[in-house]
Amino acid sequence: MADYIAPLRDMRFALQHLAGLDAVLALPAFAEAGGEVADAVLEEAAKFATGVLSPLNGSGDREGAKLTEGGVVVAAGFADAYRQFVENGWASMTGDPEYGGQGLPNLLGTVASEMWNSANMAFALNPMLTTGAVEALRAHGSEALKATYLPNMIAGTWTGTMNLTEPQAGSDLAAVRTKAVPNGDHYLITGQKIFITWGDHDAAENIIHLVLARLPDAPEGTKGISLFLVPKFLVNADGSRGARNDAVCASLEHKLGIHASPTCVMAFGDQGGAVGYLVGELNRGLNHMFTMMNEARQKVGVQGLAIAERAYQQARDYARERVQGRVVGMAGKPPILHHPDVKRMLLTMKSQIEAMRALAYLVGADVDLAHHHPDEATRAHCQARVELLTPVLKGWCTEVGVEIASLGVQVHGGMGFIEETGAAQHLRDSRIAPIYEGTTGIQAADLIARKLPQQDGAAMAALLAAMRETAAAARRHEGAAFQTIARHLAAGIEALASATAWAQTADPAAALGASVNYLMLAGYVAGGWLSAKAALAASSLAPQDEFLAAKITLAAFYAEQILPKAPALSTIVQGGTSFAPHIPAELF
């Protein structure tokens, strides 16, 4: 397996010219996080990703996690890597300073998350879920719970999990049966949860589970679900680790990929009841958990980007070295990188990766602006765009990530199908991302039924207006590449606008039937918009520079080879798939 090297120059370009890093660093909340701090974070994160995490990716996949009588033991090297992760301060990077965090921007956390997931996706799931649990507890927990648990969780010495799914309650959380019975100042939790990522392990001192459960007299459905904090080890009054709680890993799932990430079946209360503490209000647990879920959905979108980058690097390096066949117009047998179809595949991979990166960083910056900008109108605008684009980031980036990982195997030819090269692992690992934290269908339903109609579609209208400004700027620019970009981007924007108008008045069942295609349409057009912005920024700097010239080339390739999907998807949204909900089940 090829080593992962963080594409720092690409990352810095996206940060500065597409996400607006300077505007984020200018916020009062980040007064001490200047450009030098940001550069140091990127450099050191890259070193950690390449030097510590990447070498464990292949061995962790082969060894996996193991369940023993004492609990789950992670693959060799993972516990030590996590110790270094905590000691180097990576766990606390974006944490609230009130509880010991460094208070750095979410945008920098997004970039670091890309590196962790490219280097070792199985490892990166652990801190990703801990960050989400921290956000949920910080937003909804009592002052006593926050004081007891947040400092260690932000430091990383305690990790966090999300416990939603049950055997009979996958996406339908209304069917949750886990029970919570009041018992003095706490609750006794009984039930079983499945698919719990890093639900048990030996890499941290304690594991803090956030668990959805219902009281015996709770209302039926989602309105009767509450959220509870259930520690693996109870915490003594002085903050030290106490007795073992009645929460254990009953078994480990055998999975297609991310083998080094222990996916647990968690049993709560087999010995009488696991001690749990209410987080937030009774019967509002699902609302509270969405704080964690939205954080996780954004980071899973980053996973789609990250695994695509790793697959691209592997395929590119292989294509540079592999000699096979002859190339028209070239003497001898050059590496397969010179074959036109291999170039097509690599350009398809890289152009979409750059578009995905731009979208992920844009959302990461908008989160910071929505939370910290001094102007209320700006905060509201950024929050609306975060809400609109979160399902697109999660759904589009993960679906495209699988396609790119598959192309990575294809570039290798038969060797890609052989595990030893490592290309197959990237494809296997990528396949979970469109599924967990809400499938693509769930993201699409959220986008078209909830996010799009908010404020009569104002967020999408504002986004389309920004896209049209970029298309107009490209149209005014000299050069064939920019005319290509402008023409295809304008067509994509109008395709998205037309599909949006249809979705806003369509029969709800028809809209849901078309929702995944609508989400993918939005993703491709957003990617084209940001690619065009990248080309314009590169042209304004020094287009004769090889790196910057490549931004223009990639944007033109994306416009010509990827964006034509937009009008086709718009036609599909408004036509074929709209009748799918009305087809009788007997047909199948």
Q: What angle do CA 93, 99, 103 make, to 5 degrees?
A: 35
Q: Any residues with CB less than 8 A from the CB of 432 and at least 6 apart, and which?
A: 255, 256, 257, 258
Interval 291-316 mean pLDDT: 96
pLDDT at 558: 98
Confidence of residue 579 (pLDDT cuts 50, 70, 90): low
Of residues 474 and 578, the one with the higher pLDDT is 474
Q: Which of 388-397, 503-512, 573-582 has the lowest mean pLDDT?
A: 573-582
pLDDT at 578: 58
Q: CB of 374 within 8 A of CB of 362?
A: no
The helix (H) or strand (E) run that includes residue 436 is none
Q: Any residues with CB less than 8 A from the CB of 415 and at least 6 apart, and which?
A: 318, 322, 421, 423
Confidence of residue 303 (pLDDT cuts 50, 70, 90): very high
Phi, psi values for residue 301, rounded to 5°:
-60, -40
pLDDT at 332: 83
Q: Which residues are catalytic?
A: 437
pLDDT at 111: 98
CA dihedral (101, 102, 108, 111) positive or negative: negative
Q: What is the DSSP letter of 100?
A: T
Query: How far is residue 100's CA from residue 92's CA, in Å, rounded to a whole number?
Result: 7
Cβ-based neighbour number of residue 554 at 10 Å: 21
Model confidence at 1: pLDDT above 80: no
Q: Any residues with CB less than 8 A from the CB of 325 and at least 6 apart, and which?
A: 333, 336, 339
Reported as a single tens digit per residue, the pLDDT across 173-211 is: 888 999 999 999 999 999 999 999 999 999 999 999 999
Model confidence at 30: pLDDT above 70: yes
Interval 244-263 mean pLDDT: 98
Reported as a single tens digit per residue, the pLDDT across 204-226 is: 999 999 999 999 999 999 899 99
Query: How far is residue 533's CA from residue 524's CA, in Å, rounded to a whole number?
Result: 14
This prediction has a pTM of 0.97
Interval 145-167 mean pLDDT: 97
Q: What percent of the chain has pLDDT over 90?
A: 90
pLDDT at 576: 62
Reported as a single tens digit per residue, the pLDDT across 435-475 is: 999 999 999 999 999 999 999 999 999 999 999 999 999 99
What letters, b where the CB count within 10 A reaches 16 and e where it falls short, cover 352-367? bbbbbbbbbbbbbbbb
Confidence of residue 542 (pLDDT cuts 50, 70, 90): confident
Helices 480-505 and 515-541, packing angle to 10 deg: 150
Reported as a single tens digit per residue, the pLDDT across 112-135 is: 999 999 999 999 999 999 999 999
Cβ-based neighbour number of residue 579 at 10 Å: 12
Interval 145-151 mean pLDDT: 98
Strands 179-183 and 66-68: what pairing?
unpaired
Q: CB of 525 within 8 A of CB of 566?
A: yes
Query: How far is residue 9's CA from residue 547's CA, in Å, rounded to a whole number?
Result: 9
Model confidence at 32: pLDDT above 90: no
